[in-house]
Amino acid sequence: MSLFKSRGTKRDGEVDFSRLPRHVAIIMDGNGRWAKRRGLPRTAGHAAGAETFRTIATYCKDIGLEYLTVYAFSTENWKRPAEEVSAIMDLLKKYLLEAIGKMERDRVKMKFLGDLSPLSKELCALCRKTEEISTHYEGCQVNICLNYGGRDEIVQAVRALAAECAAGQRNAASLTEEDVCAHLYSAGIPDPDLVIRPSGELRLSNFLPWQSAYAEFYFTDVLWPDFSKRELNRALADFQSRSRRFGGV
């Protein structure tokens, strides 16, 4: 894993769109600070963040990226004030209702990574409906991490594998990395090549820890609501300037 702070040396024109990473993952951080700086409630920051998500997801589809994964709500985010949690859930609901109406036109596939069981029945049903519609499309896949925690995901996979071993369907000694991958929420999705975290924080915060083992990291001080297509291009250009060795030479 290589950790680089944004060097700010690349310009939009320097992205080679013919060799994009397959999978970009983003921690949409900084909504609260963005709102605070404007004297607005935190919920206004999340609303602005949802707009940025729309812009970036559409851009990823337009440039031909295969997978975009975003962190919308973590297993730890329930600790936030009830009003803020409910505002984020409402934004998700609003987005999904709009997305369902546009999916046929946009051909964007959607998948949810996380334990959806504590969500409202309505939101859960919307998530399942968008996933079901998505099975009819090829093209850019947007994964939304919702009530997602990387450690929680690994624990769930371990539990499932342990149960299969106990039932005699598997031999513990011959378990492989592929067996673990197949039991993660992200089963079937390639690992992220590039993980982006805006807002100046330099940590992973339980976001795709297994899947990011060989990811490149890009950090920028820009707050998520101010993150633009141009900023994504900077991250892509920076990614393209790196040499990935995956433990080789």
Catalytic positions: 29, 77
Size of the site for ligand FPP (CB under 6 A): 18
Among 117, 113, 114, CA closest to 125: 117
Residue 51 or 62: the one with the smaller Cβ distance to ligand FPP is 51
> At a CB cut-off of 8 Å and minimum separation 6, what does 114 contact?
73, 75, 145, 146, 147, 148, 149, 153, 185
- In 148-228, which residue ranges form alpha helices assigned H by DSSP? 150-166, 177-181
Q: Binding string, 86-105, against ligand FPP, x = CB under 6 A?
A: --x--xx--x----------
Q: Is 235 in the site for ligand FPP (CB under 6 A)?
A: no
Q: Is 157 in the site for ligand FPP (CB under 6 A)?
A: no
Dihedral-angle region of residue 168 (phi above 0 means left; psi in -120 to 50 means alpha; beta otherwise): left
Q: Is 234 in the site for ligand FPP (CB under 6 A)?
A: no
- In 64-184, which residue ranges form alpha helices assigned H by DSSP? 82-106, 121-134, 150-166, 177-181
Give the nearest distance from C-beta 84 to ligand FPP in angstroms.
8
Q: Is 69 in the site for ligand FPP (CB under 6 A)?
A: no
Residue 12 or 201: the one with the smaller Cβ distance to ligand FPP is 201
Interface region with ligand FPP, contact rule CB under 6 A, candidates 24-32, 118-126, 133-141, 175-183: 24-32
Taking a C-beta distance cutoff of 8 angstroms, is the pair 69, 208 a contact? yes
By residue count, the chain amounts to: 249
Take residue 229 and report the two structure tokens written for it. Answer: 């297509």
Q: Is 30 in the site for ligand FPP (CB under 6 A)?
A: yes
Residue 31 or 141: the one with the smaller Cβ distance to ligand FPP is 31
Q: Is 184 in the site for ligand FPP (CB under 6 A)?
A: no
Task: Name the site residues for ligand FPP (rule: CB under 6 A).
Answer: 28-33, 46, 49-50, 53, 70, 72, 77, 88, 91-92, 95, 144
